Chain A
Amino acid sequence: MRILMLGWEFPPFFAGGVGVVCSELSKALARRGEEIIFVMPSGPLQPTAGTKHLNKFLIADKDFNEFTEIHESVAKSIKLNITIKTIESLLNPYITFDEYQKKYSAVKRFMGKEMGFMGEEGGELYGKNLIEEVYRFAIRAISIGEKENFDVIHAHDWTTFPAGIVLKKLTGKPLVVHIHITEFDKSGGQHANPEIYKIEREGMVEADTVIAVSNAVKERCIHNYYIDGGKIVVIHNASTPMVSTEHARKADVEGRPKIVLFAGRVTLQKGPDYFIEAARLVLQKNKNVLFVMAGTGDMLNRMIEKAADYGMADKFIFTGFYDRKDAERLFGMADVFVMPSVSEPFGITPLEAQYKKVPTIISRQTGVSEILKHCLKVNFWDINALAGKILEVLAYAPLKEELKEKGFQEVQLITWDRPAMECIKIYNKYYKPADKTDKKTKTKKSKKA
């Protein structure tokens, strides 16, 4: 079976949580013998791990394989029967209107003079605004649809939905849309941008099957998007095996301050303010604690001010943007990891924390809490409970040890094999040997004729 993935990130490209999910799922599918054509947006300002690519502009619809500097993991993926196609685009999975506009003008300034801001077809290379860019991306995808042969279209989140719909209409192949996050989640559950909402809903309506990354997301699709629950399948994400860096940890110095870690985008959705409030309560009981808030986002400045207002500036470390190497170090230091998200469709970081043997406290308002058992859970608004749990993990060594050990055992069993199998089950609903028998009967008929 050939699956056309409209996704995000493939190493060395890096686009955050959704990207990891797309590439891990594709690899797991490929390991099970499926063929993957992986289509993703790629532009001059995409953060990539191999920054060498930054000054080379990928040309629309160019096969990635043609590049000489192929990252090792990509080479491995090719062995796994994954073909990567990139589409020149400024999209990234979490982009907002403002961010897109900034990027767009930056690119215009940067490229305008030297290269001419024109695409191959003679039109503008990038859409003037986010919505336009999403549709432009869809149009570019058509050429791939015409060239490639595939059996199923699998699109990840709204920015790829128009492309998915266009390809479905063009080829008649079934469309599976994968919901990692909805507009409602980005705003903490309260409201959604109407234009994006419209595209999201269109994708779900046109899809033959909707995959939700948690029961919470499924509920949202039913209640906020009026999608028939019967066509929604919940497939929880999994974790990528990681090397525990626990052994590298320095021996505990008597009386060293304990470290509580928040790691993620500092946005409303992730509940950073609840982290600050809980920290205040923790410090009232135990002064020997340090709080690390890693990540950046639109609430970061307010959080820094709030910590200062509470007189906790000396107890807080704000790291700003962190990459994967920094993440390694952060998890290596932390005594407890906290994810107090207000609304988290899934939330993959706790899995990473458990891999790094860090006791984990998560809010019940996360999709991942539907599958994790060996961690502590609180309601995001309950700062007393959150502070209590932080103090308790720091106070009771056997609790900490048990969470570390059992959490590690647990996360090792949450592999990508299961979601891949679930996806194949869905594909098989549409891709039946019937397709083959059709051909056979046809050939038989033609023989007879």
Chain B
Amino acid sequence: MPSVCFYFQVHQPYRLRNYSIFDIGNRSDYFDDAKNYQITRKVADKCYLAANAVIYDLIKKHKGAFRVSYSITGVALEQFEKYAPEVIESFVRLAETGCVEFVNETYYHSLSYLYSKAEFKEQITMHRKKIEQLFKQTPVVFRNTELIFSDEIARFIESLGFKAVLIEGADSILDWRSPHFVYHVPNTKVALLLRSYKLSDDISFRFSNKDWNEYPLTADKFTNWVSAVNGNGVVINLFMDYETFGEHQWQATGIFDFLKALPESILKNKDNNFLTVSEVVEKYPPISELNIPNFISWADMERDLSAWLGNRMQINAAETLYKMEMQVKRTKDKQLLEDWRRLTTSDHYYYMCTKWFSDGDVHKYFNPYESPYEGFISFMNVLNDMRTRILTSKKEEEMAKKIVSKQSPKSTAKLPETKTKEVPVEKSFFLQDGRILRTLKDLKDTLDTMDDSIFYHHVSLDRNDFANWVRDVFKLPDLAVKIANAGNQVETKKAISNYLSK
């Protein structure tokens, strides 16, 4: 009795404008509002509104037997609020049926897990709050951007309290196994729901392909394939971009008619049913373990990270961006942080992909650039402009500090110097996640967002890197002892704060 689990991904990035090297220092409106409006509006009309209406009718018609799950990125939701508020309304209406579940991901649809766990965690929280605010639901299932996943991510996600993760049913991890069961990574409880890429792609890629030997795909034919799983699996996870309906597959292909007919066809067989993602986890406990030592994703044929981080431009762009994280956050400039975060969106890196550029294919889709090179150029120019913004605001920060120290005559000359001292690069603290700390304040601020995995990489029973750094570089043995005794982030932070406010 296989269950069918529909999950749709809804995402629209903030596309950058063509930002020239001559714009650096002259303008900081990086995003092409006109284009973003245009695309959001177009896809809203062709896909989101049309498909939501169909889904709503199906839920009503089948009196709750038809159920679906969504993940709508924070940046997509924001753009709907701005450019197509009725899309939000229609999703709220779907949420109110009780047959729709929302999945948590990173607010910005980012690759942050790969570069900054702190940022990753913050973006997940942001997204959760947005879902709670709009749809009055607290998500319990997670999906990482483009289904990027590995053993390591499983453990991290579990520590955040999620029950399940959606991942790609990639051949490389399954071997002889079937994607139609629930699995888990060794030593974790978080359940893995595997995308059935064959059946999902039959709808999202092949539906209108006249060269396909199964063309045309009818609801009954698809139901037969679903029913054929009976006895060899428990759940068929149909995960796809929501834009499949009306955008990737135009209305004229009959995709909406297919969608309208499918639930009835599937439910005709009393053994079949529809479930949302968390219902799958409740109903079907993991049957076995899966090892996923390398990163997988749902992109391209390779099903790895190469669509976003496959060439030197992409890697350079991502590394440069995340190296700026601490500096950006230190400025406390909300607009700067928002701009920086919008650049974490994976699409920007996808546009820079040269892998299939010569053939011109799916990467072209909604790609605002003529070539991957243009994508890289605009992105790097924007980063350089942000750098100038950081530098100017840093100056302001220093000036503010000077004023404070003038006003407090008690402070000795030496003390404020250690408090604000920025150590040279060779004496900087290199955090395991790649961030670099140069002042005591850096350390204090970082502790707010430092994950256990990072903190305890540097702190163990017989070693405390932070204490050693404070002792050796800042020559503050007393503070070092306090830090060494602190043992967790909160206490460590307290010790540093006490010293700085002395």
Q: A residues engaging B (CB < 8 A)?
A: 281, 285, 373-374, 376-377, 384-385, 387-389, 391-392, 395-399, 401-403, 406, 410
Contact = CB atoms under 8 A, between A and B. Distances in A.
Given A399-B313, A399-B376, A402-B313, A376 B21 contact: no
Nearest to B358: A373
B377 interface: yes
Contacts of B381: 392
Nearest to A413: B358
Interface string B5-22: 000000000000000111
B313 A384 contact: no
Given A389-B377, A399-B376, A402-B376, 11 more contacts: A373-B358, A374-B354, A374-B358, A376-B374, A391-B21, A392-B381, A395-B21, A397-B316, A399-B380, A402-B372, A402-B373
Contacts of B311: 398, 402
A29 to B, nearest CB: 26
A385 B20 contact: yes
28 contacts: A285-B22, A373-B357, A373-B371, A374-B354, A374-B358, A377-B370, A377-B371, A385-B20, A387-B22, A391-B21, A392-B21, A396-B313, A396-B316, A397-B316, A398-B311, A398-B312, A398-B313, A398-B316, A398-B376, A399-B313, A399-B376, A399-B380, A402-B311, A402-B312, A402-B354, A403-B373, A406-B354, A410-B358
Interface string B361-379: 0000000001111101100
Interface of B: 20-22, 311-313, 315-317, 354, 357-358, 370-374, 376-377, 380-381
Contacts of A398: 311-313, 315-317, 376
A403 B354 CA distance: 10
A285 B21 contact: yes
A402 B353 CA distance: 11
Contacts of A395: 21, 380
Contacts of B312: 398, 401-402
A399 B358 contact: no
Nearest to B18: A385
A376 B376 contact: no
Contacts of B317: 398
Contact of A396 (B20, B372, B376): B376
Contacts of B374: 376
B371 A376 contact: yes
B376 A384 contact: no
A267 B21 CA distance: 29
A248 to B, nearest CB: 23
Contacts of A385: 20
A369 to B, nearest CB: 10
A385 B378 CA distance: 12
A371 to B, nearest CB: 10
Contacts of B357: 373-374, 406
Contacts of B21: 285, 388, 391-392, 395
A401 B313 CA distance: 9
Contacts of B372: 402
Contacts of A376: 371, 373-374
Interface centre among B21, B316, B372, B374 (most CB of A within 10 A): B21
A373 B354 CA distance: 10
Nearest to B24: A285
B354 A399 contact: no
A388 B20 contact: yes
B78 to A, nearest CB: 30
B373 A399 contact: yes
A376 B354 CA distance: 13
B373 to A, nearest CB: 6
A103 B311 CA distance: 54
Given A373-B371, A374-B354, A377-B370, A399 B377 contact: yes
Interface centre among B315, B354, B370, B374 (most CB of A within 10 A): B354
A374 B359 CA distance: 12
A189 to B, nearest CB: 23
A392 B313 CA distance: 13
A418 to B, nearest CB: 14
A265 B361 CA distance: 37
Nearest to A403: B373
A389 B316 CA distance: 18
Nearest to B316: A398
B360 to A, nearest CB: 8
Contact of B380 (A387, A396, A401): A396
Contacts of A410: 358
A336 to B, nearest CB: 12
B310 to A, nearest CB: 11
B69 to A, nearest CB: 38
A392 B377 contact: yes
A385 B18 CA distance: 10
A7 to B, nearest CB: 31
The 5 closest A-B pairs by CB, nearest first: A398-B316, A398-B312, A388-B20, A398-B313, A388-B21
Nearest to A359: B373
A256 B61 CA distance: 73
A175 B276 CA distance: 69
B315 to A, nearest CB: 8
Contacts of A403: 373
Contacts of A388: 20-22
A74 to B, nearest CB: 36
Contacts of B316: 396-398
Contacts of A285: 21-22
A403 B372 CA distance: 10
Contacts of B313: 396, 398-399, 402
Nearest to A410: B358
B336 to A, nearest CB: 22
A53 to B, nearest CB: 43
A199 B80 CA distance: 61
A406 B313 CA distance: 12
B307 to A, nearest CB: 15
Nearest to B22: A388
B367 to A, nearest CB: 13
B20 to A, nearest CB: 4
A376 to B, nearest CB: 6
B258 to A, nearest CB: 35
A402 to B, nearest CB: 5
B308 to A, nearest CB: 15
Contacts of A373: 357-358, 371
A377 B370 CA distance: 9
A410 B315 CA distance: 22
B293 to A, nearest CB: 28
A212 to B, nearest CB: 22
Contacts of B377: 389, 392, 396, 399
A281 B377 CA distance: 18
Interface centre among B313, B317, B358, B374 (most CB of A within 10 A): B313
Nearest to A390: B21
A369 B377 CA distance: 19
A129 B439 CA distance: 82
B159 to A, nearest CB: 35
A392 B27 CA distance: 17
Contacts of B380: 392, 395-396, 399
A385 B20 CA distance: 8
Nearest to A406: B354
A384 B373 contact: no
B21 to A, nearest CB: 5
B237 to A, nearest CB: 36
Contacts of A401: 312
A426 B311 CA distance: 41
Nearest to A384: B22
A368 to B, nearest CB: 15
A398 B372 CA distance: 12
B129 to A, nearest CB: 36
Contacts of A399: 313, 373, 376-377, 380
A170 B324 CA distance: 76
A377 B22 CA distance: 17
A374 B360 CA distance: 12
